[in-house]
Homo-oligomer: A and B are copies of this chain.
């Protein structure tokens, strides 16, 4: 099993697309209530890999991506048997809530377990990255830093602080469950077509320095400001890619303004948005009740998942 994570500074765009080596370092928070449970069994009698996610069999590019990941781990173990993979998410898939992060982290850990591979968490993180960049972060709980290259060996995540370090809350505001038209993998390829991409990559390096310090000092306003700035930077790159990716919906815009009004009203709340229309509201425990009341009264809000720092990926069952 593994959990999704919310990037406080985003991973967007690769230095190496094939190896999924990120263009910039990113820092995330693993979320307790966004859980993927995956079982993998390698079987001599299977002719092809079978993958079922949320009771639907995968096919086409989504299946190929998982097969490539299984191949990576099979090669390491010297195994050729095909696998049956069954995975369940307790949250919407493919809507910018990092289902690929929890999915590939869970798959990597479950696969390594099923194949009897004895790997360090660093190696698991590096391998998970090959399936989905942000999955490298979900291998760990709490506050996590994903390194960039230069090489495959250097691009792994490491924990900065465990889940007990600081009780930051992430209210995942679900506005749409529609799967996005351009999946993140395709978007990463497009990042470099934006004239703003190099400027963002340079800026994120400075933001990461400040963010590490703010997390160490539990300085919430600084964490929130950085998260909000980098979310806007990433969406600026997306919107100015060719083709342009506009993930925001009218409802997204309304929550952005709502978050800023909350701050004017003295509530410590900041937004961040992954590659989708749904908004993550970062806040502290004392504001959660107030924010949940407001959000649940909003007819454009379908559901709110109130998350806290969660554990890393692990073998269960």
Contacts of A228 in B (CB 8 A): 244
* Count class of interface residues, chain A: 20 to 34
Interface residue? A53 (CB, 8 A): no
Contacts of A250 in B (CB 8 A): 250-251, 253-254
Evaluate contact between B240 and A229: CB separation under 8 angstroms. yes
Contacts of A232 in B (CB 8 A): 236, 239-240, 244
Q: CA separation between A256 and B253, bound complex, in Å? A: 12
The distance from the CB of A274 to the nearest CB of chain B, in whole angstroms, is: 17
Interface residue? A252 (CB, 8 A): yes
Which residues 236-288 of A sit at the B interface, judged by CB distance below 8 A?
236, 239-240, 242, 244, 246, 248-254, 256-257, 260
Which residues 170-214 of A sit at the B interface, judged by CB distance below 8 A?
195-196, 198-200, 202-203
Q: How many copies does the complex hold?
A: 2
The distance from the CB of A205 to the nearest CB of chain B, in whole angstroms, is: 11
Evaluate contact between A198 and B195: CB separation under 8 angstroms. no
Evaluate contact between B257 and A246: CB separation under 8 angstroms. yes
Interface residue? A233 (CB, 8 A): yes
Q: CA separation between A250 and B279, bound complex, in Å? A: 14
Contacts of A252 in B (CB 8 A): 253
Known A-B contacts A200-B196, A202-B195, A251-B250; the reply to A240 vs B233 at CB < 8 A is yes
Evaluate contact between A253 and B248: CB separation under 8 angstroms. yes
Contacts of A251 in B (CB 8 A): 250
A interface residues (Cβ-Cβ under 8 A, vs B) = 195-196, 198-200, 202-203, 228-229, 232-233, 236, 239-240, 242, 244, 246, 248-254, 256-257, 260
